[in-house]
Each structure stands twice: as C-alpha cells, then as structure tokens.
Amino acid sequence: MDFYLITAILVGLAAAFGYINLRFLKLPNTIGIMLITLLFTLGVLGLSYYDDTLLEAEKEIINSIDFEKVLLDGMLSFLLFAGALHTNFEQLRLQRWPVMVFATVGVLTSTFLVGGAMYYVLMLLGFEVAFIYCLLFGALISPTDPIAVLGILKKAGAPKKLETKIVGESLFNDGVGVVVFLTLFKIAGSTEAVTPVDILELFGLEVLGGIGLGLAIGWIAYKLLKSIDDYDIEVIITLAAVMGGTVIAQRLHLSAPLAMVTAGLVVGNDTVRKTTMSQLTETYVDKFWELVDILLNTILFVLIGMELLVLSFELSAVIAGLIAIPVVLLCRYISLLLPINFFEKHLDFVPRTDVIMTWGGLRGGISIALALSLTQEMHRDLFLVITYVIVVFSILVQGLSVGTIIKKLGVSQVSESSSH
C-alpha cells in the first residue's frame, strides 16, 4: 500500500470515529476514538469468521506502517511542540523544580522499581526473562502521555497548578523516558562491557544536547518571528523549526523530543509572544498547532486501537499484563512520594497530589512504540502484549475515572476558587 492511500484511510477513519464519538458517546476525544477503534477492530475480527476481506485489508494497513518510526521519528516532535506551545509558561516556571524532578528522578526510580518487580512477577509466571530486559520494560512504561491526559484534565476541571505539574511532567518525561530506554537498549544489545562513564556520556549528551538544541532553535525562531509581521510565513517558520530541529537532533544523536519541548516553551511563552507576534499571528499560530495536535492525536489513537490485530495474545502474557497494571501504578506512586513530600513544604500543592498524579499519569503511544522497537531476543511479543494491556486500561479506565477522582477528592477548580 502506498503512503497516500494509508494516510487517506487513517484520516478517514479518524474523522468517522471522531464524529461518532462527538455525536453519540461524547467522551474526551482520545478516549472515545480509541474505544470506537477497539470496538471496530473487534467487529472486524468477528466478521472475519464469515468473510475476512476487511480483516486482511486492516492487517495490510497495520503491517505497512512502522508504528515505532512513525511515532518516534515523526509524530512525537509535532505533538510535543504543540503541547509545549500551549502550556502556561508562568505556571510551569513556578512549578519547574517539581516538574524536573518528577520527569528525571521519578522516571529513573519508576524504571528500576517496575523492572525489579516485573522480573519476579514474570519468574513466578514461568517466564525466564533477563533482568536488563525487565528494566527496558520499566523504561518504556514509565513515561506518561501528555497527549492523552491534557484534554481529560481540562474537562475534569483540575486546578491549574495541578494540571501544570501533570502536563509539564508528561512533556519532559517522554524525552527523558526515551533517553533512558535507548541507554538501556544500548547496554542490553552491547557485546562489550559498558562503563558508568559511557552511560553518563550517552545520557548527558542526549538530554543536555537536546535541551540545548531546543533553546537554539527556539531563539532562532524568536528572532525570525520578531523581524517580520506576516502570519502565513510565521506559521511556516514554526513548522520549519519543528521539522528542521527534529532532523538535526536525529543526525547529531540528541533527544528530539526534549529539543521540541524546549523550543515549544521558548516560542510559546507569554513574554516572547508579546514581543514577536501580532494578535492575528498569535491566533493563527495557535489554531494551526491545535489542528496539528488534534489531527495527529486522532490518527495516533486509531493506530493504537488497530495494533490489536498484530498482537499474538497468549493467555499467560495477558495475565502478566493484568498483574502489571497494579504493579506499574504502585511503582509510580512510590516514585512520586519523595519529590512530592519534599516540594510540598516549599510550594503550594493541591491536596492528594500523589493520588491524582498516580491515577492521572496515563500511558499512551510512546510506550507501544518503544515496545515495538524491542528485538525478539528481548521478548518483544511478551512485553508488547503487557504494554498494550496497560495502555488500554490506562486510557479507558484511568482516563474515564480521573475526573471523578478529582471531584471526589474535592480539588476541582470550583473548590479551589471557593477557598479563596
């Protein structure tokens, strides 16, 4: 199948499922679209007992798409730039230290906790999986998904400072999580001994280099935007910054996700906006990136739903996935405890931030893309099923109930405003 046909089919399905969701289900877009895609895929599987034409066509589409490459090398940069562009910079500046610690120390702690716990869980279930591969699973499942969580938090009426922590953490921990995964992947696949210095070098280059590149791209975009006043060209400059920046990051082996988050925060922050963009330009830039965000989001969640077709579901792997759900949630809760307790004394934290951040830290496409990049030797099929079970539970169950939890704990914006 050629690229244009696949894209046309995916956009067509995204439009159809988005319409059905808004017209009938009225769920947050990401949840509704993924739910409808899953039901559609299950329907196609059921229909295949009588006629497998549709099933074969859907399988051909999924097998033609390199999900890992499409998401990690393409879509992720656009999605993270769009997310960062619309993040409240002033709120993020106030919450910068907890956000940074959640996204770095939190991800590393969660990686080792999940890896260690799953090593013993899999051993009890009769799987012989090396500890390093369990750590790889810990790294791919630890990043939370800003794309899935943002719309849900807004709909739930989460307080701004809490929303900033969760979204800010998600934006940065994607980049950090990918770097941790790639570092462990290199260790797992290496025939030579890897020293701690090698690890720090690789990690430091990816993280600091990515942020540095993002600052440079953001600054160049800022200078270009400031020197002209034409909304058409200014929108194209932001698009070129993302596409060009991603290519440069990949060529220099720096973290493209972290570069794009940083560039988005530089271009989107209020001070830069006021001095570089007219009100008309600001509206066009925002609307353009909102549209890109929504379009890629819908396609991404259609793809996640359709991935169901290429998984080989063995009962033992599904059981491992179901056990992994509470394990991953508990490890996230523990990894957030120390930073929350430390910063709570210095910053104004919403009550029960630990519970809301644990339940509101949804997993999404990044985890599936990283699981798809594992080799067969790393137990790719097993970890892919476990990851898929966690992602589906995370988006459908956690996503649908996080709003209720926020309201039940009495920390919605309504209660926040009434306390002033």
C-alpha closest to that of 249 among 408, 68, 72, 34: 72
Same domain, 248 and 283: yes
Confidence (pLDDT) at 145: 83
Confidence (pLDDT) at 93: 87
Confidence (pLDDT) at 414: 44
Name residues whose C-beta falls within 8 Å of residue 263's C-beta, 6 or more positions apart in sequence: 81, 84, 214, 215, 217, 218, 221, 241, 242, 245
Where among 26, 48, 63 does a domain terminate?
A: 63
Where among 63, 82, 102 does a domain terminate?
A: 63
Same domain, 229 and 93: yes
What is the DSSP-derived secondary structure letter of residue 373? T
Same domain, 7 and 139: no
Full residue range of the structural domain in which residue 46 is found: 3-63
Same domain, 171 and 277: yes
Where among 63, 83, 102 does a domain terminate?
A: 63
Name residues whose C-beta falls within 8 Å of residue 133's C-beta, 6 or more positions apart in sequence: 188, 374, 378, 379, 383
Same domain, 233 and 336: yes
Segment 126-133 long-range contacts (CB within 8 Å, at least 24 positions apart):
126/316, 127/316, 127/320, 127/379, 127/382, 129/379, 129/382, 132/184, 132/187, 132/188, 133/188, 133/374, 133/378, 133/379, 133/383
**Cβ proximity of 362 and 395 under 8 Å:** yes
C-alpha closest to that of 357 among 109, 103, 77, 179: 103
Same domain, 56 and 96: no
Confidence (pLDDT) at 30: 84
Same domain, 59 and 107: no
Same domain, 104 and 209: yes
Confidence (pLDDT) at 416: 45
Same domain, 178 and 325: yes
Same domain, 55 and 91: no
| CA–CA gap between residue 117 and residue 156 (Å, rounded) | 32
Q: Is the pTM of this model over 0.75?
A: yes
Q: Counting every residue, how long is the chain? A: 420
Same domain, 213 and 341: yes
Say how many domains are in the chain.
Answer: 2
Same domain, 305 and 167: yes
pLDDT along the chain (420 residues), means of 10: 90 96 91 94 93 91 90 91 87 89 94 98 96 97 80 75 86 91 89 80 89 97 95 96 97 94 92 88 94 91 91 93 98 94 83 91 92 93 96 92 86 52
